[in-house]
Amino acid sequence: MATTNEAAQRHWWRGAVIYQIYPRSFSDSNGDGVGDLPGIIGKLEHVASLGVDGIWISPFFVSPMADFGYDIADYRDVDPLFGTLADFDALLAKAHKLGLKVMIDQVLSHCSVEHAWFRESRQSRDNPKADWFVWADPKEDGTPPNNWLSLFGGGAWQWEPRREQYYLHNFLVDQPDLNFHNPEVRAATLANVKFWLDRGVDGLRLDAINFCFHDAQLRDNPHKPKALRVGRGFSTDNPYAYQYHHYNNTQPQNLEFLGELRALMDRYADVGALGEISSEDSLAATAEYTAPGRLHMGYSFELLTDDSSAAYIRATVEKLEAAMREGWPCWAIANHDVPRAVTRWGHGDASPALAAQLVALVCSLRGSVCLYQGEELGLPEADLPYEALQDPYGKAFWPNFKGRDGCRTPLPWDGGNGAGFSNATPWLPIPDAHRALSVATQEADADSILHHVRRFLAWRNTHPALRVGTIRFLDAAEPVLAFVRETAGEKLLVAFNLSAQARQWTLPDDVQATPLGDHGLLTAALANRVLAFPPRGVFYAHLD
């Protein structure tokens, strides 16, 4: 397990904090109500001031925007909504000047129905792209070839009358799945990746990377008992939860493709690949996908759930640690697909102390970290009316599940009508509660969440154990989470009170701790080996 300071210096991504930018909602430079690449350029100083190591930019490629950019029609160009290739080059140059690495989304398993590949493929069964997508004949009664379901609800097969066949879409009907069993598809996909690596990006975030291959025999997925239908990253009333998804994703052939991808990336100096992995056993798949010669890092939805108990966090991390002997994890408790962390884990308490603590918690686990835009402000989930929704997922499952728009509302830069995001009507409404937490408001308050996060990240960067050290958990009763981070030169005790009430915890007999300060968070007091935590308090100490 590579956890030394030397390894951290060799690979920028190891132990890095990566700030996720959702372009539509970051900053609008041209007054159309939608964020864009020049808008990002104009706000990069804010990101750099946080003390993060790099940025991950969600898709900005040419797209009809059925799934807001995750349905790509041209992998090698910028959608005019977001700017131009020249704008991207300028963004890359400015980020590098500010000391920020740049990671971009790559959506490899599927594309848009408007992509030239699919437009050709759907015309006939004998054109040059005929086998580039997953096509299948109907059953004798005209129904789809098997029982596979789309994550966005309903069947995963769509009829194409020109071919008299169905095509597979694991996501929206507008997102046909590519046929990675075809070597031409793999080669073309790698050529698209190479285009951006040649342009100078420092890393790739690989969307739904375990969905590249499907079972060539098209076997039915087995049903899942009702008691086990627990959703991660999707609504539990979605029929997708009714199956074990053994055959429509996470196929063994994917590992060979990851090796091909890694071989390409190894031709470039110090770039990293972060895979998003959601499967029946995402932690086991993450360990497998980050084995030597495959992805550099992986993350799953395990900490993007509603369970914020110390026991759950510990069990999740320990399970991955046990499986991941040589790979490197990446943790996130928020992104553009799930309700915001202070709402999801606060259970009614969206206090500044909670917001700051959550950033510290995810940044203290072993691995790299993805922070989602707005976490530095403690933004809660936006509660939007049905008529304001843009997300097709939310529209389909309203009112039980409101989709993903509540975490995608524009970032509030000030308290004005457009919140400093845009001079026009934003593509999603900005809640008044978000304006009250704007960047401008928090910049003016030395005790704000924003300043606490800055102080903490600066402090974290001075402690190698928190960036690259091993992790070992200590026994503690709820709601206390405690563990040890250790490198050859540093050994730290880390503890969190995960409740909104004061708590106490007695240090184990074999633990001799010297408290560390200056991290900018509410800290526990140590007296006679007893830690007295304030609500949402933390404790960092050197271990003798």
> What does the pLDDT look like over 195-243, one tens digit per residue?
999 999 999 999 999 999 999 999 999 999 998 887 655 555 789 999 9
Among 4, 30, 21, which Cα is nearest to 421's? Answer: 30
Most distant CA atoms of the chain, gap in Å? 79
pLDDT reported for residue 143: 98
pLDDT reported for residue 4: 39
Coil, helix or strand at residue 250: coil
Distance of alpha carbon 468 from alpha carbon 365, whole angstroms: 10
Distance of alpha carbon 344 from alpha carbon 175, whole angstroms: 29
Residue type, 271: V
Q: Exposed/middle/buried for 528, CB within 10 Å: 0-12, 13-18, 19+?
A: exposed
pLDDT reported for residue 238: 87
pLDDT reported for residue 3: 38
Residue 387 a catalytic site member: no
Among 207, 193, 199, which Cα is nearest to 95's? Answer: 199
Q: Please answer whether residues 334 and 376 qualify as being in contact, where contact means their C-beta atoms are separated by less than 8 angstroms.
A: no
Q: Which of 28, 177, 202, 276 is catalytic?
A: 276
Specify the DSSP class assigned to residue 399.
T
Residues of the chain where predicted confidence (pLDDT) is lower than 50? 1-8
Q: Which of 36, 207, 337, 381 is catalytic?
A: 207
pLDDT reported for residue 296: 98
Q: List domains and CATH numbers for the chain.
A: 5-111+183-458 (3.20.20.80), 470-543 (2.60.40.1180)
Coil, helix or strand at residue 137: coil
Distance of alpha carbon 425 from alpha carbon 34, whole angstroms: 9
Q: Is the peptide bond before 479 cis (omega within 30 degrees of 0)?
A: yes
pLDDT reported for residue 1: 35
Token pair listed for 404: 């993903």
pLDDT reported for residue 206: 98
Q: Is the peptide bond before 399 cis (omega within 30 degrees of 0)?
A: yes
CB atoms within 10 A of CB 271: 22
Distance of alpha carbon 147 from alpha carbon 168, whole angstroms: 11
The torsion angle over the Cα atoms of residues 103, 107, 112 and 114, rounded to 10 degrees, is 50
Question: CA 399, 400, 405 angle in degrees (round to 5)?
Answer: 70
Residue type, 335: N
pLDDT reported for residue 5: 43
Distance of alpha carbon 234 from alpha carbon 301, whole angstroms: 10
Residue 28 a catalytic site member: no
Question: CA 506, 455, 513 angle in degrees (round to 5)?
Answer: 25
C-alpha 542, offset from chain centre: 31
* For helices 282-289 and 310-323, angle between their N-to-C axes, nearest 10 degrees: 40
In this prediction the pTM is 0.96
Token pair listed for 409: 């509302």
C-alpha 455, offset from chain centre: 24
Residue in the structure block whose two tokens are 């701790």: 513
Q: Exposed/middle/buried for 247, CB within 10 Å: 0-12, 13-18, 19+?
A: buried
Token pair listed for 192: 């698209």
Coil, helix or strand at residue 126: coil
